[in-house]
Amino acid sequence: MRCLEAGVLGALIAVGVGAAAAQAGVGAGVGAAGGVVVVTGVVLRFLRNRFRSWAYQERDEDLVVKRGVAFRRLSVVPYGRMQFVDVTAGPIERLFKLSTIKLHTAAAATDARIPGLERDEAARLRDQLASLGEAKAAGL
Partner 1 sequence: MTTPPPRSPPWKRLHPLTPVVRAGRIVSVLVVAFVISNARGHADNTAGIYDLVVVVIVVAAGVVRWLVTKWTLDGATLRIETGLFRRDSRQLPLARIQAVDVVRPFLARVFGLSELRVRLAGSSSADGRLAYLSHHVATDLRARLLATHHGVDPDTPEPAEQTVATVPAGRLIGSVLLSGGITFVPSVIILLVLVRVSSTAAVVFGSVFATYLFGFVQGVWRRISSLYGFAVADAPDGIRIRRGLLGTVAETIPARRVQAVRLIEPFFWRLFHWCRLEVDVAGAAGREERSGRSATSTKALLPVGSHELARHLIAIVIGEPQPTTSPPPRRTRLKAPLSYHFLSAGHNDALVMAVTGRVRRTTTWVPMVKAQSIRRIQGPVQRRLGLATVHLDAAGRRVQAEFRDRSVDEADRLVDDLTSLSRAARKAEEVRRPLAAGTAAPAGWFADPSGRHQMRYWDGRVWTDHVRDQEMAGVDPL
Contact residues for partner 1, defined by CB under 8 A: 61-62, 70-78, 80-81, 83, 104-112, 138-140
Query: SS3 for 86?
Result: strand
Supply the minimum distance, in Å, between the C-beta of residue 43 and partner 1: 19
Contact 82, 140 (CB under 8 A): no
Nearer to partner 1, 91 or 139 (CB): 139
Supply the minimum distance, in Å, between the C-beta of residue 112 and partner 1: 7
Contact 73, 56 (CB under 8 A): no
Nearer to partner 1, 54 or 96 (CB): 54
Q: Measured between alpha carbons, how far apart are the two ends of the chain, in Å?
A: 37
